[in-house]
Amino acid sequence: MYSDRDDALVPSGRWVKVPDSHFFGKKFEFIIKNSARDILLIITADAKYHDWLKLVRDCQLAFEEHPDLGVWSPSVDYSNWTIESYSLGAIKQTTLHRVFQTDSIVWSLSRR
């Protein structure tokens, strides 16, 4: 899903365009109502990453390995929302942490 105030961006594939006036709340509501997926991965910025496909795989694997996982987010550079500041502790025998806040730049949510 995307919006573009200048209509310059014409993505290929299965993108859904919504009005530019649909800020995060309206976009999120649309996704929740119209998605039948078990995992929702949200990227809320023009972020750069060297391997987006790996990030998607890591996200999917985290939910597969931890069925009770509700929210997943990678560690994002150049953000004030660091694991060190918001962790409630590591989950034993994993690379995951219990946190009370993600950076909200890249995060995912399970339907369950």
> What does pTM read for this prediction?
0.76
Nearest to 69 by CA among 92, 48, 89, 97: 97
Give Cα separations from 69 to 18, 40, 64 (angstroms).
30, 13, 9
Band (pLDDT 50/70/90 cuts) for residue 53 is very high
Residues 86 and 103: beta-carbon distance below 8 Å: no
> What pLDDT is stored for residue 18 in this prediction?
83
In this prediction, what percent of the chain has a pLDDT beyond 70? Answer: 96
Mean pLDDT of 43-61: 89
In eight-state DSSP terms, residue 91 is P
Residues 86 and 99: beta-carbon distance below 8 Å: yes
User: Cα–Cα distance between 72 and 104 in angstroms, integer?
Assistant: 10
